[in-house]
């Protein structure tokens, strides 16, 4: 598991489709990788992905591999 680097100077951003009432995730790209956090709880936990892990995730997302099933 990759250790989370110092995030004090990280530039966080979220998708334009984010709904403030429902929340969204924010991401910050650093040299070491990409951090992801809950925009409604910025002091909470952070998931951290190496550049390779992030690229694999984006590739799967672009291909529709993570689409939520209809309920």
Q: How far is CA 21 from CA 12, 14, 40, 42, 46, in A?
A: 18, 14, 9, 15, 21
Note the pLDDT of residue 10.
Answer: 94
Residue range 21-45: average pLDDT? Answer: 90
For the chain, domain boundaries: 25-62
Cross-strand pairs, 47: 36
Query: What are 5-23's pLDDT values in tens digits?
Result: 889 899 999 888 777 677 7
């Amino acid at each position: 598991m990759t250790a989370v680097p110092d995030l004090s100077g990280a530039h966080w951003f979220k998708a334009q489709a984010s709904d403030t009432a429902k929340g969204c995730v924010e991401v910050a790209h650093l040299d070491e990788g990409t951090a992801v956090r809950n925009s409604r709880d910025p002091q909470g936990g952070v998931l951290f992905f190496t550049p390779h892990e992030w690229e694999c995730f984006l590739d799967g997302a672009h291909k529709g591999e993570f689409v939520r099933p209809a309920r």
